[in-house]
Amino acid sequence: MEQSRLISCTCSDSFGKLYGREKELKEIDAVYEAARIPAQKVQCVFVGGLSGTGKSALLQRPFLTKQCLYGSGKFEQRQQANPYAALVHCISDICNQAHLEGTAKYKALITEQLQPDELKTLVEVFPDIGTLAHARPEVEETSAVHMRRRSKEGLDKLKYSLRLFLKAISLAECPVVMCLDDLHWIDPSTLGIIQSILSDHELSNLIFVGSFRDNQVSDELLQWMDEVRNAKRITTGDLSVDVVQDLLSDILRVDPVDDLAEFVLKQTNGNVFHVLQLIDYMQSEGLLEYSTKKFCWTWDINRLEEETSLSDNVVDIVSSRLNRLPPDVLACLKLCSCLSFRFDPAILHAVKDEVQDYLEMEIADVNVCLEKAIEEGVIQRLGNDRIKFTHDRLWQASLRLISSDEERERIHLIMGEALWKDYGLGCAQVQKVIDSKKLIVCVDQLNLGCRLIEDGDPFRLELARLNCEASKRVASLSAFVPSLEYLKRGIDLLDPKCRWTDHYNLSLEMFTAMSEMCFCAGRIEDCQKAVDPVLTHAKSIDESLRAHLVLIQSLSAQAKYDEFVNMSLELLDKLGEHIPPKPNTFITKRVFGRTQNLLQSKTDQEILSLPKMQNQHKAAAIQVMCDMMFPVDQMGRWNLITFLICRMLRITFEHGLAPYSALAFALASQLFVASQNDIDSGCRFAKLSVDMVKKVDDSCAARVFMHSGFALHWREPLSITVDYWIDAHERGMRSGDLNAAVQNITGYGVAYFYSGLPLDPFVNDLENFCTLMETYGQKFSLLANVPVYQCVLNLTGRSENILDMSHGIAMDYRDKLGWESRTGEEAEWSFLMQLSFYCGDYEKATEMAEKVEALHAGASRALPLYHARVFFFCLIAIHNAKETGKRKYKVKAKKHYNVVRGWVSNQKAINVVHKLQILNAEMLTLEPEKKQKESTIMEAFDKAIAVSARAGFLQDAALTCQLASRAVADNREKREYFSRSLEFYRSWGAHGVAEYLETSIGRRRPSLLSLAGSSNGSITSGSSSRRGYRGRERFDKSLSIKHMKIDIDDPDSSAEFFGSSASHTGQRRSSSVGSGLNMIIPEED
């Protein structure tokens, strides 16, 4: 009885005590308590140490008695081809625990957070989520799944959907705990998913714990772990002699054990696993004996030292232990080790007969053998259908039972052939409908033994087909690296001398797929190698089209824009669309004029009623032209952009609506706004593109919404277009169109900045978005958003020097990522111009304005910052005209003023009305020769303040008060205007500006500060009730009311915002304010 107790103790009972880990347990307890705080961000712990130091136990045991949804998984050295296996096991555990907590509760949480297509994406990879949510994916042809998933968009959608799932089930009262063991063997696909989870700032009440071996982890993985924010690092070392004494005393129930503890420590160096194995070895060899006289365990230390001769490799110790097992159990363990660390026992039943003939060793009953191995602590059950080895070293020892590599390969091949027969995989049609797990297990076994298949054996061709099918299955799960490995194996199985002549279709499929997988896996440099054979041997453009698309995408990803454009134009030629590489202005204008006439001749309903495009060459041509937009824009070839857009529209009219036709109309809306200043047509086509994408295909919805937003912001309040771009960003994340998702952040950032909405939640958004872009490697978009992020940090007082935008938290990204491209430099100048003007540094503002004006291209008119730039150009020119008296500044001011005036009168630009009011007041101060009465000037300022505040543009209301304080003569009124300016800045969230003005102006004109600082915060446009960037949930009703749509026909009407005190000098206000644009727009001189 005592002897059996000793054996069970040394077999690492899962609820046993963790010896010598008191400090580490306290750290993990602190992490758990932090995760229970509502809205607490993801907690992360990395546990490092050598093999056998108890890392796995430290991952599991602290959470067994805590209220949480716990899941664990283990990476394996040979499981690279089994995509997401460790993560699947982890999520399965979590779902099983959620069942115990209450299925109905978690089902409701999941269905509320995830849309049906997102749930379907998850269930295909994590089937237990479907069980928990009572949802199963519809039966779908493998090829359809393959085409949908075999892209970066599919992987990004999987990442986003999994984060939504974790967000749904992670609760403060019951956090989710994800434990993944042996990170040093993590596959790239799973690592990408883990990175996206840990970088999601909206995930809360979740703990991630990962373990790794110090001596086997790569430098790249260590660098990533160092970069994970707020991650704790725990190192498990060897046990001390005192801890070994405690362990031996508890196991043997003998005290003292000093001499035995010193012996064990000398032999094992305190490695936990080695200690336990040594104790078991000594007991089995009779070196530890149970005395029936003393009723305790005894030993002779001299005998131990004389007779114990152990190898430095603990696998030898374990092997000697395994060799004591019965022969049939050993044979069974050999088969188990060839499967994996975790395996399905049903496979053993399928292969037993064939393998035992080869081993010449009968396995009478698989179940009996497995139970015996479980009793000996070599393996353990995970459930009804899964078994695993209890430790890596036991798995390695079981593998070493096989005498040679050739014998191991032979066993793999026999097992694979047995499964091939058992699953009926000899028919190609059967291969397409067979369960993916069965197919992959069979192919993995065959690949491990394929070296023994002789050249010329017909089975090599069969195995090549199986590898091709396996690559499709794992590609449909967005596991691109494993898919690529299957394809490489399949291609190697074909004779290179005759693969294209004898096996054309199979070779075409595998090489084409390999080019796609290289691109999706980020191995851009290998794309060309895979594409070349396809382009050389393909018999038609239909057969080479996929390879052509991969090639041009790879060139774009490497920023080889000249090559990209040339290759794209060559492909368009092959698709029947000849596009001149550098169309001249005359031809471009003629093409545009014809397209414009064609558009004007059709009603919206006629366009939406066009039939669906049947010509796939034309549909592909439109897609290629859409993909050309960004590189061509970066090259500054504006005529080519116009030509491409016009050609896409003409193809649509001639052949019908294609999936990318909606994007063509969205691009057209941006073209009309940017180059033609035709806001009416731009908004028409923007709305048309949105309707079209809903009717035809929503695969490019995020891009359609993005480009149409660049037109619609001229006619919709910015506070509404903020939601528009957020919705578009979310569509991109949900669909996996990551490029469009992050590009929408640029539109959102600029729209939010100029909308007057509170800056504090905006800072959080920008921080989260920048982290998101960094995680997904979106360098260009990240650098493009750095200027607005740094400007907001400066405005809100989160920087050392408000007028220095070259340093700060946001600008650190430039040093981190490299800034050779100077991306975002023009935007930096633009924001610094505005910031300098706010702070009264007009010399700096003028310097920045001159830089920006020199680069002020028409294309930027599509962004909300365009009208803001012109507005500040005008203000700076007015200031310089008054300061210097030079006519050139007055001419420049009048020029910019007329531009803004035209936007309001001709284009009905709703977000510019209040800016025109401000410029009206400022222009009056520019003409002293007309001897304008001060009351007239100040009345104009009061109207501008009222209109700006009513529309919610707090920053412009603040600026107008600031300008008014400079225009008015009375010192008391100066103080009042200046005080209100500070109040508006603070209400906007620009505390940095308010503090700077108080400090700098206070030194020069202390009298202005007598009323400043008395703000009670009453001036506000509401507060953001942000629950994550989830569309219109961001803003509460009060905020929406404050940002109601301005009535252009009555822009000067009183605002509820100010009540009866809209002007501090009510006697100046006209008792009957006129209506209509005539009150805003003065007559021409």
Tokens of 299: 């030993």
Say yes or no to pLDDT of 1040 above 50.
no
Say yes or no to pLDDT of 843 above 50.
yes
Do residues 881 and 890 make contact, with C-beta atoms less than 8 angstroms apart?
yes
Mean pLDDT of 363-370: 89
Output the CA–CA distances (angstroms, integers) from residue 795 to 47, 798, 946, 955, 980, in the order listed: 41, 8, 23, 11, 17
Say yes or no to pLDDT of 178 above 70.
yes
Residue 39: pLDDT band with limits 50, 70, 90: confident
Spatial CB neighbours of 606, under 8 Å, sequence gap ≥ 6: none
Mean pLDDT of 703-724: 88
Tokens of 388: 């695993």
* pLDDT at res. 550: 92
Say yes or no to pLDDT of 695 above 50.
yes
Query: What are the CB-based long-range contacts (under 8 Å, 24+) for 582-585?
Result: 582/637, 582/639, 582/640, 583/639, 583/640, 583/643, 584/639, 585/639
Query: What are the CB-based long-range contacts (under 8 Å, 24+) for 863-866?
Result: 863/710, 863/747, 863/750, 864/713, 864/718, 864/721, 864/747, 864/750, 864/751, 864/754, 864/911, 865/750, 865/753, 865/754, 865/827, 865/830
Q: Could you report the per-residue pLDDT of 891-930, keeping only the tens digit for each?
A: 999 999 999 999 898 888 889 999 999 999 999 998 765 5
Instruction: Classify residue 41 by its DSSP letter.
Output: B
Mean pLDDT of 315-319: 66
* pLDDT at res. 1072: 26
| 212 sits in which H/E element | strand 206-213
Say yes or no to pLDDT of 562 above 80.
yes
Residue 77: pLDDT band with limits 50, 70, 90: confident
Q: Could you report the per-residue pLDDT of 954-975, keeping only the tens digit for each?
A: 999 999 999 999 999 888 999 9
Residue 1057: pLDDT band with limits 50, 70, 90: very low
Residue spans of alpha helices (H) in 184-271: 188-198, 219-227, 241-252, 258-268
* Choice between 557 and 602, residue whose per-residue pLDDT is larger: 602
* pLDDT at res. 254: 84
Residue 40: pLDDT band with limits 50, 70, 90: confident
* pLDDT at res. 931: 58
Farthest CA pair distance, the chain: 121
In whole angstroms, what is the distance from residue 881 CA to residue 901 CA?
20
Say yes or no to pLDDT of 697 above 80.
no
* pLDDT at res. 124: 87
Sheet containing 342-343, strands listed edge to edge, beginning at the edge strand earlier in sequence: 342-343, 387-389, 379-381
- Give the number of C-alpha atoms closer than 13 A to the C-alpha of residue 380, restricted to the C-beta side: 10
Tokens of 1074: 């006129």
Percent share of the chain, pLDDT over 90: 46
C-alpha 466 chain-centroid distance: 33
Residue 1019: pLDDT band with limits 50, 70, 90: very low
Residue 627: pLDDT band with limits 50, 70, 90: very high
Rg (CA), the chain: 35
Crossing angle of helices 954-967 and 934-950, rounded to 10°: 170
Range with the largest mean pLDDT of 16-25, 73-82, 334-343, 789-798: 789-798
In whole angstroms, what is the distance from residue 688 CA to residue 666 CA?
8
Q: Is 676 helix (H, G, I), strand (E, B) or coil?
A: coil
* pLDDT at res. 721: 86
Say yes or no to pLDDT of 116 above 80.
yes
Q: Which amino acid is at 296?
A: C
Say yes or no to pLDDT of 488 above 70.
yes
pTM of the model: 0.79
Q: Could you report the per-residue pLDDT of 644-658, keeping only the tens digit for each?
A: 999 999 999 999 999
Say yes or no to pLDDT of 522 above 60.
yes
Do residues 622 and 651 make contact, with C-beta atoms less than 8 angstroms apart?
yes
Residue 970 Ramachandran class (φ > 0 left, ψ -120 to 50 alpha, else beta): beta
CA dihedral 239, 240, 245, 250 (to 10 degrees): -30
Say yes or no to pLDDT of 1027 above 80.
no
In whole angstroms, what is the distance from residue 290 CA to residue 298 CA?
6
Mean pLDDT of 417-433: 74
Residue 353: pLDDT band with limits 50, 70, 90: confident
Say yes or no to pLDDT of 362 above 70.
yes
* Choice between 997 and 201, residue whose per-residue pLDDT is larger: 997
Spatial CB neighbours of 365, under 8 Å, sequence gap ≥ 6: none
Q: Which amino acid is at 888?
A: K
Output the average pLDDT for the chain.
84
In whole angstroms, what is the distance from residue 811 CA to residue 828 CA?
10
* pLDDT at res. 1017: 40
Q: Could you report the per-residue pLDDT of 787-824, keeping only the tens digit for each?
A: 999 999 999 999 999 999 999 999 999 988 888 778 88
* Choice between 1060 and 65, residue whose per-residue pLDDT is larger: 65
Tokens of 612: 């669906």
* pLDDT at res. 1081: 37
* pLDDT at res. 428: 59
Say yes or no to pLDDT of 498 above 70.
yes
Do residues 160 and 734 make contact, with C-beta atoms less than 8 angstroms apart?
yes
Do residues 877 and 889 make contact, with C-beta atoms less than 8 angstroms apart?
yes
Tokens of 773: 């872009």
Tokens of 879: 């200031």
Q: Could you report the per-residue pLDDT of 657-687, keeping only the tens digit for each?
A: 999 999 999 999 999 988 888 889 999 999 9
List, in sequence order, every beta strand (DSSP E) within 12-160.
43-49, 69-74
In whole angstroms, what is the distance from residue 376 CA to residue 61 CA?
22
* pLDDT at res. 760: 92
Spatial CB neighbours of 33, under 8 Å, sequence gap ≥ 6: none
Instruction: Classify residue 435 by its DSSP letter.
Output: -
Output the CA–CA distances (angstroms, integers) from residue 744 to 240, 740, 778, in the order listed: 57, 6, 13
Q: Which residues of 845-863 are buried (b: 16+ CB within 10 A; e: fewer)?
A: bbbbbebbbeebeebbbbb
Q: What is the DSSP string of 49-66?
A: E-TTSSHHHHHHGGGTTS
* Choice between 653 and 431, residue whose per-residue pLDDT is larger: 653
* pLDDT at res. 1073: 27
* pLDDT at res. 630: 87
Say yes or no to pLDDT of 857 above 60.
no
Residue 833: pLDDT band with limits 50, 70, 90: very high
Task: Classify burial at 615, counting beta carbons within 10 Å of its beta carbon; exposed 0-12, middle 13-18, buried 19 or more.
Answer: middle
Do residues 472 and 505 make contact, with C-beta atoms less than 8 angstroms apart?
no
Sheet containing 176-181, strands listed edge to edge, beginning at the edge strand earlier in sequence: 69-74, 176-181, 206-213, 43-49, 232-236
In whole angstroms, what is the distance from residue 183 CA to residue 217 CA?
8
In whole angstroms, what is the distance from residue 236 CA to residue 230 CA?
20
Nearest to 792 by CA among 948, 992, 986: 992
* Choice between 552 and 1037, residue whose per-residue pLDDT is larger: 552
Mean pLDDT of 212-227: 90
Do residues 61 and 52 make contact, with C-beta atoms less than 8 angstroms apart?
no
Q: Could you report the per-residue pLDDT of 271-287, keeping only the tens digit for each?
A: 888 888 888 878 877 88
* Choice between 618 and 289, residue whose per-residue pLDDT is larger: 618
* pLDDT at res. 780: 86
* Choice between 1035 and 919, residue whose per-residue pLDDT is larger: 919
Tokens of 384: 């009804």
* pLDDT at res. 1026: 32
